[in-house]
Every structure is written in structure tokens, then in C-alpha cells.
Amino acid sequence: MAPSWQRLGLYTCLLKRQLNDGPDVIKWGRRVIPGWSRGIYSATGEWTKEYTLQTRKDVEKWWHQRIKDQALTVSEADKSKPKFYVLSMFPYPSGKLHMGHVRVYTISDTIARFQKMRGMQVINPMGWDAFGLPAENAAIERNLHPESWTQSNIRHMRKQLDQLGLCFSWDREITTCLPDYYKWTQYLFIKLYEAGLAYQKEALVNWDPVDQTVLANEQVDEHGCSWRSGAKVEQKYLRQWFIKTTAYAKAMQDALAGLPEWYGIKGMQAHWIGDCVGCHLDFMLKVDGQVTGEKLSAYTATPEAVYGASHVAISPSHRLLHGHSPLKETFRKALVPGQDCLTPVTAVNMLTQQEVPVIILAKDDLEGSLDAKIGIPSTSLEDSALAQTLGLSYSEVIEATPDGTERLRGSAEFTGMKRQDAFLALTQKARRERVGGDVTSDRLKDWLVSRQRYWGTPIPVVHCPACGPVPVPLEDLPVTLPSITALTGRGGSPLASASEWVNCSCPRCKGAATRETDTMDTFVDSAWYYFRYTDPQNTQSPFSAALADYWMPVDLYIGGKEHAVMHLFYARFFSHFCHDQKMVKHREPFHKLLAQGLIKGQTFRLPSGQYLRREEVDLTGSDPVHANTGEKLEVSWEKMSKSKHNGVEPEDVVEQYGRDTVRLYVLFAAPPEKDILWDVKKSHGERSLVGCSPRGHKESHATEHAHMLNYMKHETGEDPACVKTRQAA
Ligand SMILES: [Zn+2]
């Protein structure tokens, strides 16, 4: 189906140009659109007299395949043209498109079409974020395999997208649950591991004591109970895989300045990362002078003054007191609730070799989201007070010179340096020696990526009793998911039950070993998919540098605001990492962001809070009332949802109005960033959506129309109503 803009722009343009230079228009018009009448004359040879819904559908049907064919013929890379990469966030294959999908994909389709008309080389790819817990749960409920459920959903949704007339670059389709994709997710994981950016440590997980299984946050209800067993969920420490996102905190915080077209989202990213003023440093723990093998990482906002440390403080909820640490009992014995307690454990700073005592603090909340920090009396009054109370020894390491600059003393090689210089030198040295030193905030935590789930990318690591964790050699990738048919949702990681798959030989010493049975968070799959689209069939590497350098960065990335923080953060992290691995020239993956608004439906609620169905509401009076009881209702606009009975199905509205009308409506009913209020009264009945403005929305549709025009003008510096089709000229 012709995207509305093409037609609208074209007709306005033809009209204008007909007044000026007719012959040129005809030649041009013929090339672009054979038979440019609004009727269905081209197909029937008859002029229709009335413009009905059926006329519209006939026209749409006639155009459907033609537009798709046209989209296909321009998708080959012609590098003499400027490129434009428009990307909409790929969907989770739930099996059903909703109106939010219709909106986001209509916007990307329209922009792609528009940029093609401007003579750009455009890709507008589509794929499937296909791993994840919902498929696993659906499989358990329906007695299906997650793969067959996912694949049939993909087939159905691809058809639905096609019925909307969307012209995606289907030759670039990717599916994250297929081995030809997740092989490269595993490859990138190993690259992170080799760079010291993937590691294991104990962390809290939600534990269902009845089903004996780990639960995802979304499986814990608002009362803190398991979604299935109903048992009170416990917090339990388990060894988990992390990706060290804090290593890029400062680089990612600084790079935000170079993203002028991220608008509101930039502030949210900055807030998520926090002020990057300090770093973590690693400590080895000792008891009675004996090295224990236990390590501790602690934060300080003034690492330059670390030679003046008096102690390392941990919170009473720290994993060392609750997990499986060999020091747990020692710490517990030393703990006096409500008091700052000195423990017999000491911590050796792995950078300075200084040894200081470990303290358990009385308070549980340290700054930000920290659970361990370095006590430095020279730079903190609070630390100074604590050191005096507990009688800890320390030295002053900062002195002010007569000219007012602060310099270090008693700090080994950093002695005599200005504080700022010492900060840089010390953090750099720590990074070089891999004992911390990444400049980050007291807020950002590393990314916990392991899931005790089946339907995800297997973590490509083998555990060997002799060698410890060993990454699977790159040439042995992918580590494919074994086919497990009897998923129960109970017990530990489902992969642990596939004993033939689990038992393997160690890649290093060839001895008997076992595979890692955790899978990766689906956010890992979607953290690099935009790269894969640039080179989707590559069998030698995740993507070629040349193709990524040509297509990246994504010129326009469109998606929901709900992904403003996590997804965009992880995606930026992977891009920064790939840049440092010399896999791609650009550091930042997305040039411009468009966070599209929601489509909201009207909800009708009884005073009890119960949501009513449409047919239970009497809309004939001035205020909606309960059709049976006449009770007054609370009316509001909320995100469309089944439980609130305020949704519409894309298939129904397309059937009712025609696909072009629906697409045109979602484009101009509100500026793309704003919410659309889908009017119940007006969209019911025979009245066309086009020309009707959502109720409650103050602007006239002419103004809204102008919004979209302005938006596109702003995008390109050109007026879409007058753009020429350069490729056709
Ligand atoms: Zn081994």
C-alpha cells in the first residue's frame, strides 16, 4: 500500500507543478505511478462515481503488491547515494500485533519511503526479539515447544505486518532465537569475557521455595508471591554472570553530549548512569593474616586519596554476610545489629598493597546503590568520625600548598601530584592492572545477565574442576540449545536436566567438565541487533566492519519510551565495546531517537474501580453512564489493554476503514511523540477516521496534519509536500 505521504506529497506536488510546467509532470508522473487516478480505473477500466469504503479497499488491493515490488527493487546497496538507516524497535513475537506496533511501524515505513523519495539509500529492517520467558511460559501452559510457538507467532505477525502494507527490508530479517544469530551473541559474550568485562559473582535472586526455582521479577506479584505456587518469594544468593557495564559509565555519560537529537531520553540516560566521579577498587580479604581467596570490590569518590584509607565498610545486607562466602560466619559473629562493628577481617588493596580492617556499618543504606565503600578520613568527615570512634589508624594524605592547590603526600608514586592528576594516574594504573579503576557513579550497577531459564542464548562457558570457568573456543560456536521437551518451570535451570548436553570435556585440559546452564537475559540479544541488520547473512563474524561503517549509526531509531533506559543503555554499551574492539568506527549507535507516544483508549470505570466493556456503557447522553444501572462512570484515557477493555485490534480497524486510512490516521492524529486518544464514539459507526480529531484533543486535525509536515521538514530540511522523487527523475 502506498504510504500516505507519498500520495499526499505527490498529489500536492503534481497540482503545484501542473500550474507551472505541465509536460514535465506528466513524464515524471508516469514513471512513478502508472495510472495516478484515485479511482480503480486502472484495474477495471471504469470510472467509479462514488468514493466508498469498498473503493478504498479496491485501490489498496491494487496497490499492495506494486508498492511492495517497488520497495524491493531499491533495497540493493548503491554506495554512491547517501545512506539512511531507519530502525524501529523489533517486536517480541507474542503472536499478535497491537495498535502500538501499527503506530511505530507506520512511522518508520513512512520515513523510509520519504527518504527513498529524496534519493537516499534506505534500509528499514525488521526482525524478532524471539527469546524470552513468555515463550517458555506459553510452552509450559500449552504443552508446546517454545520454538514452535515462537515460529508460528512470527509467521502470523509477518503476515499482519504485510497486511498493513509495511515495506520492510525483509531480506535483512533476523530472529534472535536462531543459532545463526545467537552464535554471534555468544561470540560477543566471549569477547567481553576476554576483555575482563564478563564475570561471575553472587547476587540476590527471587527464589520460589515451593517450586524450588528462580523467578524473574515479572513472576513475582505485588504481594511478593510467586505467580504460580503462590508461595512467599525469598531472596537468595546465587552465583550469577554479570557484564561490567560500569567500565563504560564515564565514556557513555560523556558521549551523551554528542547526541543533540535524543531530547528527553538523554536526561534519563544521564540519570540512570549517575555522576561519574569515583571508582571501585579491588581488595583481597584476609583473616588472622591468612589470605582467604575471597575478594571485595569497594567504591570511593576520591580514589586519589586512597593511601589515606582507614577501613573498608560493608552494609549489613552485603553478600559476605548472607551468601556462600567462606567468611560468612566470621562476619556474622562480629555483627552487632545497630552498631558499626570492627571485624577480624582485613582487606588488602590490590593496587597499593595497603591493609585496612573491614567494618560492618550500622546503617544498611550507603550512598547510591553501594554496598561497600572505602573509608578515607582525609576526604570524608563521616569516615573520619568512624575511624576515631573505632580507634583506626590512618594518615592525612592531602595538603594544601600556600597557593591553594591541593597536593598529595604519603602516597607512593603519586606523592606531590595535584589531586586531579593523581585521580587520573591512579585510576589509569588500576585499570591497567585490572584491579578496578573504571570511573563510574555510586548509582550504576553492573548488568546481571544470567537467567535460570531455558529459552535464551546459552552462556558459552564450560566449568572445569581443574581450570575453572573456560570460554568455549570461538570455532566451536554456537553452543546450541539442547531440545528439551518437558519444561516444567520447576527446579533449577532447565538446561541442567539435559545431561548429555551438560557433560562435556574442558576445552583447555580436555578433562571432564560441565557446561554453564544459565542462559542470557534477552536484553543481551537486543543490545547488538542493529549491527546484524547491516550484514545479516555473515557467517564469518557478527558483521563486517565495512558494512557497519557504511550503515551505522542508525539515522533514526523509533520506539517506545519504556526502553529509554535499559535497552538503550545496553545497546549503547555494546556499541562502545565493539568500537573499542575495532569492530566499528562509530561509538554511538543511534543518531536520532524518536520515542513515539502511546495510543490510548477511553476507559469507563464504576466507582468500585471495575472497568466496563464498551457494550456496558451508554454513550448517548452528555456523560457516559452504565447502560443497565445508569450509574455515573469515571472516564479517562489509558494505554490500550485487554483488562481495561479499551483496546482496538489492528485487524478490526483495517477491516473497518481500510489500511491507508488507519495509517494516515495514526500519522496525523497527533505529533509522533504525543499520545493519540483513540475516540470510541467517533471511531464507531460509519464515519471515516480521516478528518475526525480525537475527542479531548484540543488541536484541529489541520494543526495535527501540520505537525507531521513540520516534523518531516525538520527531519530533512525539505518540505514533504513538494519533494521530488530523485530516483525516478
Ligand atoms: Zn580444564
Q: How far is the CA of 190 from the centre of ligand 1 (A)?
A: 17
Distance, CA 519 to ligand 1 centroid (Å)? 22
- Eight-class DSSP state of 344: E
* pTM of the shown model: 0.86
CA of residue 520 to ligand 1 center, whole Å: 23
CA 642 to ligand 1 center in whole angstroms: 53
Give residue-wise pLDDT tens across range 626-682.
998 988 999 999 988 888 888 888 999 998 888 888 999 899 888 999 999 887 455
* Residues 471 and 481: beta-carbon distance below 8 Å: no
Q: Where are the alpha helices (DSSP H) in 512-658?
A: 522-525, 529-532, 545-551, 566-580, 650-657
The pLDDT assigned to 5 comes to 39
CA of 469 to the centre of ligand 1 (A): 8
Let me know: does 323 contact 237? Beta carbons within 8 Å. Answer: yes
Mean pLDDT, residues 690-702 taken together:
41
Residue-wise pLDDT tens digits, 115-167: 988 989 999 999 999 998 888 888 888 888 999 999 999 999 999 999 999 99
CA 199 to ligand 1 centroid distance, Å: 18
CA of 656 to the centre of ligand 1 (A): 64
Distance 512 CA to ligand 1 centre (A): 8
Summarize pLDDT for 249-270 with one digit per residue, the tens. 999 999 999 999 998 899 999 9
Instruction: Give me ligand 1 centre to Cα 505, in Å.
Output: 8
Ligand 1 mean position to 297 CA, how many Å? 27
Q: What is the DSSP letter of 614?
A: G
- For 162, phi then psi, to 5°, come to -65, -40
- Torsion of Cα atoms, 454 then 455 then 461 then 462, to 10°: 30
Give the distance (Å) from ligand 1 centre to CA of residue 475.
Answer: 18
Distance 518 CA to ligand 1 centre (A): 20
Q: Which residue has the cell 547510591?
A: 368
3-state helix, strand, coil in the chain (%, to 5): 40, 20, 40
Percentage of the residues of the chain whose pLDDT score is greater than 90: 60
Ligand 1 centroid to 508 CA: how many Å? 5
Q: How far is the CA of 193 from the centre of ligand 1 (A)?
A: 17
Stronger pLDDT, 367 or 608, i.e. the higher one:
608
pLDDT in the model for residue 504: 97
Distance of CA 28 from the midpoint of ligand 1 (Å): 70
C-alpha of residue 205 to centroid of ligand 1, in Å: 29
pLDDT at 542 over 90: yes
Ligand 1 center to 460 CA (angstroms): 15
Residue 139 CA to ligand 1 center (angstroms) comes to 36
- Ligand 1 center to 462 CA (angstroms): 9
Distance 463 CA to ligand 1 centre (A): 8
- Average pLDDT value for residue range 586-593: 97
Ligand 1 centre and the CA of 470: distance in Å? Answer: 7
pLDDT of residue 54: 84
CA-nearest of 332, 353, 374, 239 to 345 is: 332
Q: Which residue has the higher pLDDT, 51 or 458?
A: 458
Here the cell at position 593 is 531517537
Please write the tens of the pLDDT for every residue from 196-225: 999 999 988 888 888 777 777 777 888 899
Question: Mean pLDDT over residues 415-436, rounded?
Answer: 96
- Residue 335 CB burial class (10 angstroms; 0-12, 13-18, ≥19): middle
CA of 504 relative to ligand 1 center, distance in Å: 11
